[in-house]
């Protein structure tokens, strides 16, 4: 089956999802976006308010900062697939709950299968815990981890860099490490 059609069909299916209570308060689902043959998949935490309005990932303030970080890392946004563990906006921009992540996880797994990338950037503790539930985020941040033939780079979520100057500097340093690696 054509992978592009598969991603589009999956996005349509996600748009009708009612597997967890988040569907009741969403405006639009945010399945993710990017080329079907992306070499890198970026995974964040959850859609924010702007993402909920537009149906696109990382388009608010954190998205603009992510764009700056990608530029620092020499990575073109149009060449990466961007998504998150949940596809609907958690009310009041709260962290997604385990049961919400569990309900959406099959969608993320299917996206990963379709895009078939071997390189990932995990932004924040929520994304990290999906892939490494038995590891410590703070000990892994800024590092490359390999598991099942896939490479994962771990960093803070861009929203942390917007809120705290300390994290902004760390994120910039982390993304400098990506220059030439991916």
Structure tokens at 8: 């589009």
Instruction: Give the percent of the chain with pLDDT over 70.
Output: 97
The model's confidence at residue 36, banded by pLDDT at 50, 70 and 90, is very high
Residue 3 has pLDDT above 80, yes or no: no
pLDDT digits (tens, 9 = 90+) for 118-175: 999 999 999 999 999 999 999 999 999 999 999 999 999 999 999 999 999 999 999 9
**Residue 181 predicted with pLDDT over 80:** no
On whether the CB atoms of residues 167 and 156 are closer than 8 A, the answer is yes
pLDDT over 90, % of the chain: 94
Residues near 111 by beta carbon (within 8 Å), at least 6 away in sequence = 7, 10, 31, 32, 41, 81, 83
The pTM of the full predicted model, rounded to 2 decimals, is 0.95
**Topology of the domain covering 3-178:** Uracil-DNA Glycosylase, subunit E (3.40.470)
Domain chopping of the chain, boundaries: 3-178
Q: Angle between the 165-178 and 61-72 helix axes, to the nearest 10 degrees?
A: 40
Number of C-beta neighbours around residue 37 at 10 A:
13
């Amino acid at each position: 089956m054509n992978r592009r059609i598969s991603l589009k069909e999956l996005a349509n299916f996600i748009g009708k999802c009612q597997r967890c209570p988040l569907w009741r308060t969403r405006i639009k689902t945010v399945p993710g976006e990017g080329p079907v043959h992306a070499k890198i998949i970026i995974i964040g935490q959850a859609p924010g308010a702007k993402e909920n309005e537009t149906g696109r990932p990382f388009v608010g303030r954190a998205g603009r900062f992510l764009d700056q970080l990608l530029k620092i890392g020499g990575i073109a946004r149009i060449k990466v697939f961007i998504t998150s563990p949940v596809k609907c906006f958690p009310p009041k921009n709260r962290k997604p709950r385990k049961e919400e992540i569990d309900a959406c996880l099959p969608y993320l797994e299917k996206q990963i299968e379709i895009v078939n990338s071997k390189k990932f950037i995990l932004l924040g503790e929520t994304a990290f815990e999906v892939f490494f539930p038995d590891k410590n985020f703070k000990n892994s941040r800024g590092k490359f981890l390999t598991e099942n033939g896939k490479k994962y780079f771990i960093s803070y979520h861009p929203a942390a860099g917007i809120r705290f100057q300390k994290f902004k500097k760390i994120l910039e340093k982390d993304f400098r490490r990506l220059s030439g690696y991916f």
